[in-house]
Amino acid sequence: MRKKVGICFSKELQGETPLSHIVGKLDVYIRLLKLMEVEGWDVYILTRKTYSGDGIFEGGWCFEEGGFKLVKDKLKMDVVYDRTGGIDFPISGDSLEVINEREFKVLAWDKWATFKAIGKYMPQTLLVEEKKDLAKVLPEIKSDTVVLKPVNGLKGIGIYIGPKEGATGFEFSKKYPRYVWPISKVMIKGVISYFSNSRDNKREVFS
C-alpha cells in the first residue's frame, strides 16, 4: 500500500489552490511535493480544520503531476509535515506521525520559555510584560536597531525590527501582549546575531 504523506496548514477546505497563501516560498513547497511524489507516495495538502484525530483528515487536496485536486474523502495519513500556526495542532497524545513534533512546537511558541531553556545559545533577552515597560528597557539597549517579538506565536507575526527610537510607537499584539526583546550586539544585514557564551549572563524581567 502506498504511503500517504502531506503538509498541513490552517486553510478552509475549499477551492483548488491550497497554496494560494504562500508567496515567496511557493516554489520551495512545490519542489518538496514533487520530491515526495517521486518517492512513490500519495501526496496531499491538508488543513487542521478537517482533522478528526489518529491520522484521519476529512478531505484535503491531492497533489499529482504538478496540480491539485480537492478531495473530500476520509484520508488516513502516515506522516504529516506541520505548517500550522499556534499549538492547536497536532493534538497532544495523538497517534499521528508529525514532523515538527508538538513538544518542540510548544517550546518555540513561547519565546520566554525558549530563552530559559536554551538561553546560552540565544541573544540575551529581556521580558516586557506590557508596552508601558518599554521605557524601563530602553536604557539597556545599546544598539540602534532592535527586535521585539511577542512571547507567544509563530511564523514571524507581530514582530518589530527597526530603529530603537521607533519601538515606542510600535503597537503590541492585542492577542499576545507580552513581548521579548533580544539585546543585540552585532548587526548583520538587519538580523541580530549576538550569542551569549554563558548561562550566567544577567536576565531581567519587567512587570
Count the domains in the chain.
Answer: 2
Residue carrying C-alpha cell 520551495: 28
Same domain, 121 and 69: no
Q: Say what percent of the chain tops pLDDT 70.
A: 87
- pLDDT tens across 75-117, in order? 999 999 999 877 888 888 899 999 987 888 888 788 888 888 8
Quick one: which of 18, 206, 45, 17 has its CA closest to 130? 206
- pLDDT tens across 194-207, in order? 222 333 333 333 22
**With 70 as the cut, is the pLDDT of residue 130 above it?**
yes
Q: Which domain holds residue 197?
A: 111-206
Backbone angles phi, psi at 83, to 5 degrees: -125, 25
Spatial separation of the C-alpha atoms in residues 179 and 99, rounded to whole Å: 27
Same domain, 28 and 85: yes
**With 80 as the cut, is the pLDDT of residue 27 above it?**
yes
Domain boundary among 87, 106, 125: 106
Angle made by CA atoms 186, 192, 198, in degrees to the nearest 5: 75
Same domain, 100 and 118: no
